Structure 1
Amino acid sequence: MKLNNFELAFVLGRLLLGLNFLMHGLVRIPKLSVFSAGVEKEFAAAPLPPALVSAYAHALPFAEGAIGLLLLLGLWTRPALVAAMLVIMSLVFGSSLLEKWSLVGDQLLYGLYIITLVLHLQRNRLCLDPLAVVETRSN
């Protein structure tokens, strides 16, 4: 299959984001207790219930890893991008509570990146989406 430049750009962008999310998960899962303890300590003064912060910190690496794997495979790409955006939105929420505005800026760039991929989903190639049961094409 020969890809045009637009298709190649989309595939490379999808793979890059997928690798980023997957690696976030893979490096955090083996040290999950250390990671979650750090998040809990950081949010100790935030107006969130500690149990919620703990649950989030324990779930985040698995969500990141799953999203990353789906994007790398090109499986359920549209729902995976929506999930990636929801993760980024949750990170913006948390970073804003902590008033870590430089992190919010970085997270906004992730959001723009994801939006760009969503806008160009029709260029998705070298993926498993055609084999998936869930409809992933946009209107």
Structure 2
Amino acid sequence: MKSVSYLMVRLGIGISMLGHGLVRIPKLKTFSEGMINNFQDSLLPEFLLIPFSFALPFIEFLLGVLLIIGWQTKRAAIGGGCIMLALIAGTSLIENWSALPSQMIHLLFFVLVYEFNEANTFALDRTKE
């Protein structure tokens, strides 16, 4: 059943995003400092990194919740894809090639959630099949 497969994909990326946010929010300052430290020699200025590093865990958490409950699914997929593209760009700037496969896989899952939304029947914003 296509809708069950879609549900698994949506829940998988949703749980991943929720988990990323959940573990980072309690240690937000440490996470932000680590991210800023990783990018200290990059082209990205600190005045952009600081707000991004503080906002990212909350965005990940929110995207995870939206995907798990299936509300605003297409918008969550677009938002998640945009976050992944930003992370891929940043990762490339610091040449952290080992992080790219995971980010590309996350991006692919966001694309799948968006592209096959017609199968989104087990959701608050379910589509009609």
- Same fold? TM cut 0.5: yes
Show the counterpart of 2:117: 121
For residues 48-63 of structure 1, the aligned pairs below 5 Å read 48-63=44-59
**Regions of 4+ moved over 6 Å:** none
Show the counterpart of 1:133: none
Length-normalised TM-score, structure 2: 0.93
Q: Quick one: percent identity of the two aligned structures?
A: 34
CA drift of 1:119 comes to 1.9
Kindly tell me the number of residue pairs found equivalent between the two proteins: 128
CA drift of 1:117 comes to 2.1
Paired amino acid for 2:70: G
C-alpha RMSD over aligned residues: 1.4
Aligned mate of 2:72, from 63, 73, 76: 76
Unmatched runs of 5 consecutive residues or more in structure 1? 131-135
Q: Distance in 2 between matches of 1:50 and 1:117?
A: 33
**1:107 aligned to 2:99?**
no
Show the counterpart of 2:39: 43
String of CA shifts for 1:60-102, please: whole Å, max 9, x gaps. 0000000000000100000000001011001001100001122
CA drift of 1:43 comes to 0.6
Unmatched runs of 5 consecutive residues or more in structure 2? none
Larger Rg: 1
CA drift of 1:103 comes to 1.4
